C-alpha cells in the first residue's frame, strides 16, 4: 500500500519530492500533498491556520514540516548586520518555536508521526566562526538554539521528531548537498537531492516501522572481515587494514552493543578454529558470537541450521559476504534472508533496521542468553524433557510492572511474534498510559535457572471490566518456549482473577503468521473458544465453574511478598 505523506512548507521540499518520486524502487512509493505546490503557501503555520481541514481530513501516514522560509528573515538580518538587539533575536526564536508547538498540538490528534525538517545555512563571517564579538547571536548560535528548542519539543511530544539534515550534508559534502550559488541567507538543497532523499527514506522507515528490525547479523570472514584468504596466505599473513576492515569490526561491536546477535559462517578448515577465533578476538574483544561455523558446507545450509537453533525468523537475519556466488545462492535458497556485500558496513549503523527502539538489560545480554541455552541443551543429553526441567532449579517472579521495566516491556510488545496472543504493537507512551488506569494490570514475568538469568521474558496486559477479566495481551520471549512458563503464568493470572472476584477471564486472540502455538497453550490451560470472527478468536475461562490447572511440577512459586499479593498464595 502506498504511503500518503503531507509536506507543509516551501520550495525546500521540491527537489526531495522529485528525487523520491523519480526512483520509487530505490526509496519508496507514495502519494503526497504539498502546500507550496497546492496553494503556493510557504508558511506551514499559516496554511494550517487557513486550511487546516484539508490536512486534518487527508488521512496522512506522516507529516513533514519545514520552517526554513520563516528562518530566512532572522538569518538574513544576521548576515547583513541588521540585528538591532539580542531581545529581537530571542523574540524571533520564540515565535518560531511557539508556532512549531501549535502545529504539533494541532496535528498530534491524528496520532501519526510529525517530522520537522532542518538543514543549515552557510556561514559568512570569519570572526563569528571562532569568536563572538558581541552579545548578538551569530548564524550558528541562532540555529543551535532553534534546534535545542525543537529537541525539547520532541521530548515533550511522543509523535514529534526532528529531521536534522546537517549531518548528512556534512557526511557527503555541502557542495554535493546544497546549492553554493544561492544567496547565503537563502540556502537551498542541491539537485539531484539523492543523499537527502536517502536520509528521508531512513527516517520514514524508522518512524513508521516499515522495515522489520534485524535480530542477527552473520558475516563471512575471508575478503569480508579481512583482506585475503587464509588458505592461500596463511593466518599469520592476514591483513586487517585500519581504513577498511578495522572499521567493519568496529561496526560489529556497536551492533552487538545494541543487542543484535553477531555470528560467523565461513568456508574454512575447521582445524583452524582456535587460531581464527584468536585472530577475531584481537579485533572484537568482549564481543560474544552467537555462532562460529567453519566448514566447507553450503553457507545457506549452515545458516538454516543456525536459524533453527536461534528460533528466529529468517527475515530477521542479515548475511554479509564478498563473494557474489555465495550471495546469489543464499538469495535463491533462503529468499527471506537479507543479503548484502561487504560495502554495507559503511551505512549499517544509520539504517533503521539496525536501530532498535530501545536498548535494555535483556537486549545487551541477548547473545549470552543463547550461549546459556546451548549449555542447557548439552546438559539435557538423553534425559526426558520433564526430568531435565526438574533439575533446572527454576525461579519465577510475576509482579506488577515497575517504571524501570517500561523499556523492556515495550521491546517485547514491539518484537514478539510467536508467543503473542494479540500482536498489538503498543508504544512506550501507550503502555505508560495503561499503567495509570485503575482497572488495568500490567504484569511482568522474570525467569532464572541454574544456567543463568533469562531476564524479563513475559508480559500480560489485562483490564477489569465489571465481572470480566479481559486479557488484552499475553506474550513471552521465545527463549522460554516449552519450559512450562506459559502454563505457570496462566495459572497465576487465573488465580489472581478469581481471587479478585471476577467471574470470567476473556482473551481476544488475533491470528498471525507465527503465533498458532499460543492457541494450543490456551487450549491446554482449559480456555474455551467461544467466538470466531475471521482473524479474531475469543477464548473464555469460567472462573466460577472451571478448575484452574495446577502449576507444572518442576515450577514452584517463589515466596516473595510481591508475588504473594498477585497469586494470593
Give residue 562's pLDDT: 38
Q: How far is CA 267 from CA 8, 126, 222, 264, 334, in A?
A: 53, 57, 8, 10, 18
- Read off the pLDDT of residues 497-538 as tens digits, 9 standing for 90 and up: 999 999 999 999 998 888 889 999 999 999 999 888 878 899
Q: Tell me, yes or no, whether 161 and 19 share the same domain.
A: yes
What average pLDDT does the segment 339-356 reach?
Answer: 91
The reply to whether 164 falls in a domain is yes
Q: Phi-psi bin for 246: left (phi > 0), alpha (psi -120 to 50), beta? A: alpha
Please say which residue of 207, 233, 249 terminates a domain.
Answer: 207
Task: Tell which of 181, 207, 233 closes a domain.
Answer: 207
| 370 found inside a domain | no
CATH of the domain at 417: 3.40.630.30
- The average pLDDT across 103-114 equals 93
Q: Which residue has the cell 527537489?
A: 15
* 90 lies in the same domain as 134: yes
pLDDT of residue 254 exceeding 60, the answer is yes
Task: For residue 132, name the pLDDT band (cuts at 50, 70, 90).
Answer: low
Q: Are residues 166 and 222 in the same domain?
A: no
State residue 506's pLDDT score: 94
CB 132 within 8 A of CB 182: no
Distance from C-alpha of 213 to C-alpha of 248, rounded to nearest angstrom:
20
Residue 17 lies in a domain: yes
Whether 135 and 230 map to the same domain: the answer is: no
Is residue 361 in some structural domain? no
Most confident stretch, 33-47, 283-297, 323-337, 361-375: 323-337
Find out whether 404 and 565 touch, Cβ atoms under 8 Å: no
List Cβ<8 Å contacts ≥24 apart for 375-379: 375/451, 376/449, 376/451, 379/451
State yes or no: pLDDT of 496 exceeds 80. Answer: yes
Q: Is 341 in the same domain as 463?
A: no
CATH value at residue 67? 3.40.50.1110
pLDDT tens per residue, range 70-96: 999 999 898 888 999 999 999 999 999
Do residues 239 and 113 share a domain? no
223 and 200 in a single domain? The answer is: no
The pLDDT of residue 436: 93
Selection from 13, 7, 5 nearest residue 30 by Cα: 5
Per residue in 220-253, pLDDT tens?
Answer: 999 999 999 998 888 888 889 888 899 999 999 9
Q: Alpha-carbon distance 3 to 32, whole Å?
A: 8
What is the model's pLDDT at position 441? 94
254 and 184, same structural domain? no
- How many structural domains comprise the chain? 3
259 located within any domain: yes
* Domain of residue 452, residue span: 392-567
Residues 122 and 64 sit within 8 Å (Cβ to Cβ): no
Residue written as grid cell 545462492: 329
Out of 207, 241, 267, pick the residue that ends a domain.
Answer: 207
Instruction: List alpha helices for 391-484, DSSP H.
Output: 406-415, 428-435
Verify that 408 and 529 share a domain, yes or no: yes
In the block, which residue shows the cell 465453574?
545
Residue 453 confidence (pLDDT) above 60: yes
Q: Is residue 150 part of a domain?
A: yes
Identify whether residues 202 and 237 lie together within a single domain. no
Q: CA-to-CA distance for 243 and 467, rounded, in angstroms?
A: 66
Confidence at residue 129, expressed as pLDDT on a 0 to 100 scale: 64
Element (H, E) at 89: helix 86-108
Residue-wise DSSP of 152-165: HHHHHSTTEEEEE-
- 469 belongs to a structural domain: yes
Residue 547 CA to residue 542 CA, distance in Å, equals 9
Residues 84 and 119 in one domain: yes
Residues 191, 236, single domain; the answer is no
Instruction: Round the CA-based radius of gyration of the chain to a whole number and report it.
Output: 28
Cα distance between residue 402 and residue 436, in whole Å: 12
- CB neighbour burial string for 156-179, b if at least 16 within 10 angstroms, e if fewer: ebebbbbbbbeebbeebeeeebbb
Amino acid at each position: 500500500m502506498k504511503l500518503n505523506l503531507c509536506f507543509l512548507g516551501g520550495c525546500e521540499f521540491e527537489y526531495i519530492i522529485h528525487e523520491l518520486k523519480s526512483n520509487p524502487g530505490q526509496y519508496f512509493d507514495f502519494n503526497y500533498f504539498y502546500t507550496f505546490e497546492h496553494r503556493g503557501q510557504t508558511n506551514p503555520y499559516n496554511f494550517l491556520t487557513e486550511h487546516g481541514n484539508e490536512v486534518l481530513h487527508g488521512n496522512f501516514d506522516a507529516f513533514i514540516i519545514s520552517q526554513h522560509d520563516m528562518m530566512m528573515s532572522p538569518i538574513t538580518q544576521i548576515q547583513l548586520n541588521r540585528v538591532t538587539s539580542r531581545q529581537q533575536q530571542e523574540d524571533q526564536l520564540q515565535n518560531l518555536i511557539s508556532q512549531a508547538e501549535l502545529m504539533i498540538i494541532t496535528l498530534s490528534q491524528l496520532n501519526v508521526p510529525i517530522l520537522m525538517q532542518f538543514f543549515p545555512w552557510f556561514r559568512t563571517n570569519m570572526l563569528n566562526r571562532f569568536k563572538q564579538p558581541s552579545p548578538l547571536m551569530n548564524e550558528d548560535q541562532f540555529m543551535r538554539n532553534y534546534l535545542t528548542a525543537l529537541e525539547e519539543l520532541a521530548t515533550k511530544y511522543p509523535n514529534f521528531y526532528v529531521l536534522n539534515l546537517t549531518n548528512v550534508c556534512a557526511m557527503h559534502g555541502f557542495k554535493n548537498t546544497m546549492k553554493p550559488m544561492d544567496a547565503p541567507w537563502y540556502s537551498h538543497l542541491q539537485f539531484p537531492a539523492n543523499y537527502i532523499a536517502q536520509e528521508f527514506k531512513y527516517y520514514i522507515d524508522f518512524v513508521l516501522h516499515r522495515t522489520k528490525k534485524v535480530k542477527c547479523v552473520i558475516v563471512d570472514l575471508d575478503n569480508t572481515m579481512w583482506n585475503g584468504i587464509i588458505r592461500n596466505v596463511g593466518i599469520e599473513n592476514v591483513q586487517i587494514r585500519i581504513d577498511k576492515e578495522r572499521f567493519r569490526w568496529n561496526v560489529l561491536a556497536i551492533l552487538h552493543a545494541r543487542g543484535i546477535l553477531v555470528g560467523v559462517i565461513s568456508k574454512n578448515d575447521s582445524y583452524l578454529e582456535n587460531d581464527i577465533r584468536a585472530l577475531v578476538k584481537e579485533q572484537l574483544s568482549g564481543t560474544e558470537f552467537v555462532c562460529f561455523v567453519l566448514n566447507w558446507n553450503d553457507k545457506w545450509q549452515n545458516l538454516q541450521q543456525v536459524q533453527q537453533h536461534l528460533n528466529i525468523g529468517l527475515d530477521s537475519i542479515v548475511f554479509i559476504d564478498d563473494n557474489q556466488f555465495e550471495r546469489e545462492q543464499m538469495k535463491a535458497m533462503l529468499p527471506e534472508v537479507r543479503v548484502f556485500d561487504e560495502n554495507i558496513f559503511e551505512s549499517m549503523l544509520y539504517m533503521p533496521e539496525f536501530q532498535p527502539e530501545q536498548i535494555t538489560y535483556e537486549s545487551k545480554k541477548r547473545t549470552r542468553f543463547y550461549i546459556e541455552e546451548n549449555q542447557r541443551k548439552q546438559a539435557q543429553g538423553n534425559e526426558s524433557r520433564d526430568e531435565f526441567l526438574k533439575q533446572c532449579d527454576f525461579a519465577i517472579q510475576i509482579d506488577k510492572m515497575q517504571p524501570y521495566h517500561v523499556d523492556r516491556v515495550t521491546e517485547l510488545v514491539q518484537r514478539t511474534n510467536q508467543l503473542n496472543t494479540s500482536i498489538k504493537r503498543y508504544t512506550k507512551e501507550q503502555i505508560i498510559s495503561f499503567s495509570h488506569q485503575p482497572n488495568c494490570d500490567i504484569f511482568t514475568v522474570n525467569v532464572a535457572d541454574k544456567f543463568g538469568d533469562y531476564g524479563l521474558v513475559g508480559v500480560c496486559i489485562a483490564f477489569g471490566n465489571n465481572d470480566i477479566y479481559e486479557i488484552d495481551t499475553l506474550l513471552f520471549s521465545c527463549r522460554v518456549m516449552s519450559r512450562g512458563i506459559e502454563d505457570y503464568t496462566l495459572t497465576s493470572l487465573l488465580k489472581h482473577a478469581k481471587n479478585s472476584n471476577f467471574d470470567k477471564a476473556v482473551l481476544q486472540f488475533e491470528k498471525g503468521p507465527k503465533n498458532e502455538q499460543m492457541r494450543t497453550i490456551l487450549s491446554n490451560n482449559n480456555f474455551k473458544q467461544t467466538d470466531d470472527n475471521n482473524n479474531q478468536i475469543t477464548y473464555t475461562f469460567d472462573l466460577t465453574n472451571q478448575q484452574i490447572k495446577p502449576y507444572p511440577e518442576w515450577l514452584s512459586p517463589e515466596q516473595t511478598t510481591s508475588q504473594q499479593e498477585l497469586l494470593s498464595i
